[in-house]
Amino acid sequence: VKPDWLTWLYHSFEAEGADIVIGRLLYPQPVPLALECHENYYHIKLQDICRHKRAPYYYGHAGNMAVRASAFEQVGLFSGMPVVGDTEIIHNLIQSQPDAAIIYEPRAEVIHTEVTRLRHYLYKQFECGQYSETYSTGSSYRPLRFRDNLRLARATLAAFRYGLWKQFIFAYSLVTGYLAYKAGRLLRKWQ
C-alpha cells in the first residue's frame, strides 16, 4: 500500500460520509504497457461509475475497499455464492439503503502484486466474467454495456493522451480483456 492509503480511506468516510470506499489499484513497476493501459482504463471506469452513481454497475475489489461497520450490520455477511463478495456487499447495501454513499478515492492507492503480466490480467478478466454472470442472474448488478465500455475507452484516451503506438496497445489490452471476460461469462452460463 502507499504510505497515505489509510488516510485517504478515512478521509472519504469522514469528509464525504461514505458507506463504502473503493481505492485505486495499481500494478507493480515496471508495468508492461498493456497493463498500464488497463490500469488507466480501470481508473476512469471506477471514477465514472461512482461519480455518476451508476448503481447497477457498481463493483468492488477487495484488494482495495473499505466498508463502514454499520454496512455489515445492515446487510449481513457474504452469501457463499461463487461471486466476488465485495460486489455482493455493495449491491446488498444499495438494495437496503438506495442512497448509500459508494465513493471512489483514487488517492487511496494499493499495488496489486497478483497481476504482473498480461496473462495474469486475462485470467482475472476471465474470472470476473464468471462472477459477473453468476451475480447478475440473482441481483441488481449488471455488467457495463458495450457502448459504455467504448465511451470509457474514449475518455481514457482523452485523459491520458496516448500516442498512436500506445493507442494500439490500449485497444489490444481492451479487446483481449473483453474476450477473456466474455469467455468467463459464457462458460459460467453453460455450467
Summarize the confidence of residues 152-158 as an average pLDDT.
97
- Per-residue pLDDT of 22-69, as tens digits, reads 999 999 999 999 999 999 999 999 999 999 888 887 777 767 899 998
Helices (H), the chain: 5-16, 33-51, 69-75, 85-96, 118-136, 146-160, 164-190
Report the pLDDT averaged over residues 158-184: 96
pTM reported for the whole predicted model: 0.89
Which triple of cell numbers denotes residue 48?
465514472
The domain spans of the chain are: 5-190
| 57-113 tens-digit pLDDT | 777 776 789 999 888 888 877 666 655 677 888 888 888 899 999 999 999 999 988
